[in-house]
Amino acid sequence: MKKVTYLLTGLFLFVAVNEVKAQASQECLTKYNLFKGSVTTKKYAEAKPDLEYLLQNCSTLSVNIYKYGATVAEKTKDHALVKRIYEARIANFPDKDAAKAHSDYADYLIEHNLGSDEEVFQILEKAYKDSPKDMGVKNIYRYFQGVTDRYKDTDPQKVFDTYDDVMESVGEKLDDYTKKIAVLQAKDTTSTLDAKEKRRLRAYTINSEALGQVEGGLDNIISEIATCERLIPIYSRDFEANKTDGVWLKRAVSRMYNKGCQTDPLFEKLATAYAHVTQSSDAYNFLASVLEKNGDSSGANKMRKKAFDLETDTNVKAKLKLREAQGTGGSRARALAYEALKYNPNLGKAYLYIASLYANSANSCGNNEFEKRMVYVAALNKALKAQQVDPGCGAGRYITSYRGNIPSKKLIFTQGVSSGSSHRVGCWIGETVRIP
C-alpha cells in the first residue's frame, strides 16, 4: 500500500512540476512577444519591464532577447543595462555571433567614453579570437593598432601574424562584396534594379569602400615595422622551425616580396621551400621571380605558366596575371593587366596598376604641359573605372592625385581646345580621352 502511495505521490509531483514548467514557458513566450512588439514600435520605456522579466526568468529562450534588449538599453541610455545584456548574452549564447556582440559592445564603450583603452582592447581581442571577419570595420583597425602598439618592439612576429590573419579576413570580405556588386551591376545593365536591390548595392559599395580604407590603413601601420632590416633576421631565425609549414612559408615569402626584399638570398630559400612543401600555383609563381632574378627568363616563363595552368580559380588566375604585370612595365605590363581583367573584370587593382603606368609616363608622353597633363586624364579614367567595379580597391587616393594633375581651365583655353572634345594621348599609351 505504501509503495502505491509513494508512486502516486511521485507521479503527482512529476505532473505538477511539468505543469509549472509549461506555464513558465508559456509566460516566457507571452512576455517575449509583448517585449518584441514594444521594441518594433519603438516603445522602449514600455519594453523594459518585460525585458527585465525575460532576463531573470527566460534567459535562454532566444538570442533575440539580447539583440532587442541592447537596442532598448541604448535608446534609454541605460549604460548599466547595456553591460548586463552584453554579459548575459555571451554567457547564454557564446556561439551566436559572439564576435559581433563583442565588437558592438566595444563601439558602445568608445562612443560613450565608458571604458579605458585597455578594457576596449581586451573586448576586441575576444572578438578577434572568435571571428575577425565578423568584427566591425573600424574595430578591425583598432585591434591591429592595439596589437602593434603593444608588441612591435617585444614580439614583432605576433604583429606580422595578426596582420596576416586580419588581412585574410578583410580580403575575404572584400572578395564577397565585389562578387555581390558585380552581380547587381550586371543586372543593372540589362534591367532596372528594384528598390531592395538598389539598397543592397549601396550598402555593399559603402562597406567595400570602408574595408578598402581599413586595408590601406593596416598597410600603413605594418609598413613602419615590416622592413627588410627587421624581416630578414626574424625569418632567418625561424626558418628551420617552420620550413615545412606551408602557411608560415607563404606569409614569409609574401611579406618579403611585397617589401622588396627579393635580392636577399633568404627570399630564394623561402620561395624554394614554399614550392617544395605546397606545390601550389602561388608558390610556383614566387619561384618564377627567383628564376627571373637569376637571369633564367625562359625558366621563369615556364614556371609562371605552370603556376597559371595549375590554378582553377579564375579570381586567383587574375591575381597571378596582375602579379606578373607588376614585375614588368610599359605596354607589356598593361597587356598582362588586361589579361588579368579577362579572368576577373572586377579586379580594381588591375585598373589601378594601368593608371599608375600611365601616370608614371606623364613626363615622357607629351610635348608640352597640356599633353603631359592629359596623360593624367587617361590615368584618372582608369582609376574611376577601378572604383566603379571594385569600391574596396582603394582607388580614392589615386583619383584625388590624378584629378589634381589634369589640365586647368586656363591651360585648356591657352591651348585653344574645347572642353568635352577628344584628345589622343600619344606615346605607348595610345588612348583617346575627353578633355575635361
Strand partners, 434: 422
**53 vs 63: CA distance, rounded Å:** 15
281 and 351 belong to one structural domain: no
The answer to whether position 187 is within a domain reads: no
Nearest to 237 by CA among 279, 270, 203: 270
For residue 189, pLDDT over 80 is answered with: no
Is residue 394 a part of any domain in this protein?
A: yes
If residue 421 lies in a helix (H) or strand (E), which one and from where to where? Answer: none
For 341-368, letters b (16+ CB in 10 Å) and e give: bebbebbbbbbbbbbbbbbebbeebbee
**Of 435, 332, 323, 321, nearest in space to 381 by CA:** 435
Q: Does 10 score more than 90 pLDDT?
A: no
Same domain, 346 and 262: no
- Asked whether residue 403 is assigned to any structural domain, the reply reads yes
Residue 237's pLDDT band, with cuts at 50, 70 and 90, is very high
Smallest CA-to-CA distance from 31 within 80, 71, 64 is with: 64
Domain identity same for 341 and 428: yes
7, pLDDT greater than 80: no
Q: What is the largest CA-CA distance in the chain?
A: 117
Q: Domain end: 310, 345, 364, which one?
A: 310
Band of residue 358 on the pLDDT scale cut at 50, 70, 90: very high
List, in order, residues 6 or more apart from 246 with CB less than 8 Å away. Answer: 274, 277, 278, 280
| Cβ atoms of residues 374 and 359 within 8 Å | no
Q: Is residue 347 part of a domain?
A: yes
Q: For the chain, what's the residue count? A: 436
Paired residues of 423 in beta bridges? 433
The answer to whether 124 touches 142, Cβ cutoff 8 Å, is yes
Can you tell me the distance from the alpha carbon of 407 to that of 401, in angstroms, rounded to the nearest whole number? Answer: 13
Q: What is the CATH number for 269?
A: 1.25.40.10
**Residue 428 per-residue DSSP state:** T
Q: Are residues 298 and 358 in the same domain?
A: no
In terms of domains, do 394 and 429 share one? yes
- Looking at the structure, tell me whether residues 340 and 430 fall in a common domain: yes
Contact by Cβ (8 Å): 205, 197: no
Which helix (H) or strand (E) segment is 423 a member of?
strand 422-425
Give the residue numbers spanning the domain of 361.
330-435
Q: For the residues 148-166, what does the mean pLDDT come to?
A: 89
Name the grid cell of 151: 608588441
Whether residues 364 and 295 share a domain: the answer is no
The percent of residues above 90 in pLDDT, for the chain, comes to 63
| Mean pLDDT confidence for 288-304 | 90
**Per-residue pLDDT, 327:** 81
Tell me: do 295 and 349 sit in the same domain.
no
CATH of the domain at 335: 1.25.40
CA proximity to 47, closest of 56, 58, 34? 34
Q: What is the mean predicted confidence (pLDDT) over 220-242?
A: 90
Per the CB < 8 A criterion, the answer to whether 87 and 101 are in contact is no
Residues 344 and 285 in one domain: no
281 and 347 in a common domain = no
Contact 86, 71 (CB under 8 A): no
On whether both 299 and 347 belong to a single domain, the answer is no
Q: Determine whether 340 is exposed, middle or buried from the number of CB atoms within 10 Å of its CB (0-12, 13-18, 19+).
A: buried
Q: How many domains does the chain have?
A: 2
**Do residues 331 and 316 lie in contact, with contact meaning Cβ atoms separated by under 8 Å?**
no
Report percent pLDDT > 70 for the chain.
Answer: 94
Residue 234 lies in a domain: yes
Note whether residue 125 is domain-resident.
Answer: no
| 334 & 415 share domain | yes
CA 406/CA 378 separation, integer angstroms:
9
Which of 261, 281, 310 corresponds to the end of one domain?
A: 310
The pLDDT tens digits of the residues spanning 168-188 come to 888 888 888 888 998 888 887
Indicate the pLDDT class of residue 214, thresholds 50, 70 and 90: confident
Q: What mean pLDDT value characterizes the chain?
A: 89
Lowest mean pLDDT among 23-27, 158-162, 229-233, 383-387: 23-27
Phi-psi domain of 427 (left: phi exceeds 0; alpha: psi -120 through 50; beta: other): left
pLDDT band at residue 24 using 50, 70 and 90 as cut-offs: low
DSSP annotation of 387: H
Adjacent-strand bridge partners of 432: 424
Q: Is residue 192 part of a domain?
A: no
Domain boundary among 310, 341, 359: 310
